[in-house]
Amino acid sequence: MTPTVLITGASRGIGLELVRQYLMRDARVLAVHRPAPVPPPALVALQAGHPDRMRLIALDIAAASSVVNLASRLSERIDILINNTGLLMANGFTPGGNPVGGRYRSALQVNATAPLFVARAALSNMTRGGKIATILPIGDVTSLDLLDPDSRQVAKAAVVKVMQSLASDLRPAGVAVALIHPGAVSPSSDGGEAPLSLIDSARGIVDVIDELTLETSGRFFGYDGTIDG
57 CB burial (10 A radius; 0-12, 13-18, 19+): middle
Q: Cβ distance 51 to 102 under 8 Å?
A: no
What CA dihedral angle connects 180, 185, 189 and 191, to 10 degrees? Answer: -140
Alpha-carbon gap, residue 8 to 167, rounded angstroms:
19
Alpha-carbon gap, residue 140 to 160, rounded angstroms:
11
Q: Cβ distance 54 to 102 under 8 Å?
A: no
- Measured in residues, the chain has a length of 229
Task: Give me the amino acid identity at 139.
Answer: G
Where do the domains of the chain lie? 4-222
Q: How far is CA 12 from CA 22, 150, 187, 211, in A?
A: 15, 27, 9, 25
Can you give the pTM of this predicted structure?
A: 0.84
**Alpha helices, H only, the chain:** 13-24, 41-49, 64-68, 101-108, 114-123, 152-170, 198-211
* 3-state class (DSSP) for residue 207: helix
In terms of CATH architecture, what is 4-222? 3-Layer(aba) Sandwich (3.40)
Alpha-carbon gap, residue 2 to 45, rounded angstroms:
22
Predicted local distance difference test score (pLDDT) of residue 98 = 46
Alpha-carbon gap, residue 177 to 113, rounded angstroms:
16
Count of CB atoms within 10 A of residue 50's CB?
15
Walk along the chain (229 residues) and give the pLDDT tens digit of each residue. 789 999 999 999 999 999 999 999 999 999 999 999 999 999 999 999 999 999 999 998 877 788 888 889 999 999 999 998 754 434 433 333 444 445 556 666 666 677 888 898 899 899 889 999 999 865 544 554 545 444 556 667 778 888 999 999 999 999 999 999 998 886 544 445 667 899 999 999 999 999 999 999 999 999 999 987 6
